[in-house]
Amino acid sequence: MTATKTNRKFTLIFIVFLVLGIAYGGYKYIHSLSHETTDDAQVSKKMNPIIPRVGGYISRVFVKDNELVKKGDTLFTIDNSDYLVKVAEAKAALVAAENSYEAAKADIATSEANVAVSDANVKSASGTIETAKIRLRRATADFERYNNLYKNRSITKQQFEQAEAAKQEAESQLRILQEQQKASAYQKTVASAKTNVSNKQVLVAEANVKKAKALLDAANLNLSYTVVKASIDGQVSTVDMQPGQLVQPGQSLFYIINNQETWVVANFKETQLDKMRVGQQVKLKIDAFPGTEFEGEITSFSPATGSKFSLLPPDNASGNFVKTVQRLPVRINFTANNDSKKLQLLRSGMNAEVDVILK
């Protein structure tokens, strides 16, 4: 009798579990027809790395671990003594370059004045030469006439010699004037060449001024980089640094997490993606808030599987191929229907469960 009762209880329990199993299996099957789920998902936020642009020793730190900051707040400063010296050097170089530029412009004015003087001398010599030529023609004509008269014994030898001397003097004066004209023309050529050189020197000096200004701007820019400020509103991570610490350009020191934008990255199996589309509604459960259901929607699919972004992507050409189901990251944004206060409590890296509504 007791064995019979025991068998009945066992049978009843078995039937109950069987019905529950069938009901649960049926529910899961029906649910899977219009849903895709995964627990391989994490909350994500933008993490802005704090990287100094210049190197040096930290002089002061203004933030603490997990502190909220606003855009433009000073995070820390780097000792700027060396950078102040470089700014002073750049200013001195700029003054020297500007003085060289002014001197080069003055040389141009002098060279142009010399060209004008030489040109005036050439023109003046040209007029004087014409006068000398007229005087020479007249002296030559007088000499020829006196030469004929002397041959006829119509004049004295003294008169003939005076006419000859006048001719020779006119010829000599013409030669002198012509040589002076050549010298003036040469001086003009030299002065013109100096002017061209001076013009090029001005261009070089002007370029040096621009270079000096650029170096001064760079020195001032590097000086400004010694004050590291927050580029966004957010919350800093662990600030593992102290005054006196040496930092290098490009060194990642800590992060600022942007709490204004939050999303979930869900890694779905490739076999689940057939019916998933951008814009589909999503139900989200965060492990940190088990009693709260969040709403979201699919906004994008990754262009490659997660394994392709790994440090050592798999190479299936080795011959030892084992087929493994790949996972594709899917971005899910929270909708406006969620409680903004609770969204602010979410932290990057928290685990989530994702349920995509396919229909």
CB 123 within 8 A of CB 161: no
Mean of the per-residue pLDDT values of the chain: 82
Name the residue with higher pLDDT: 169 or 35: 35
Q: What angle do CA 39, 43, 48 make, to 5 degrees?
A: 150
Q: Is the pLDDT of residue 167 over 80?
A: no
CB 272 within 8 A of CB 35: no
CB 165 within 8 A of CB 143: no
| CA neighbor of 44 nearest in space, from 335, 334, 320, 239 | 334
Name the 3-class secondary structure at 221.
helix
Given this model, what pLDDT does residue 126 score?
Answer: 60
Given this model, what pLDDT does residue 7 score?
Answer: 73
Of 86-100, 114-128, 196-210, 228-242, where does mean pLDDT reach its minimum? 114-128
Given this model, what pLDDT does residue 279 score?
Answer: 93
pTM tops 0.75: no
Q: Is the pLDDT of residue 2 over 80?
A: no
CA distance 191 to 199: 12
Q: Is the pLDDT of residue 163 over 90?
A: no
Residues 249-306 pLDDT 10s = 999 999 999 988 899 999 999 999 999 999 999 999 999 998 899 999 999 999 998 8
Given this model, what pLDDT does residue 352 score?
Answer: 96
Q: What residues contact 321, with CB distance under 8 A and at least 6 apart?
A: none
Name the 3-class secondary structure at 269.
strand
Name the 3-class secondary structure at 331.
strand
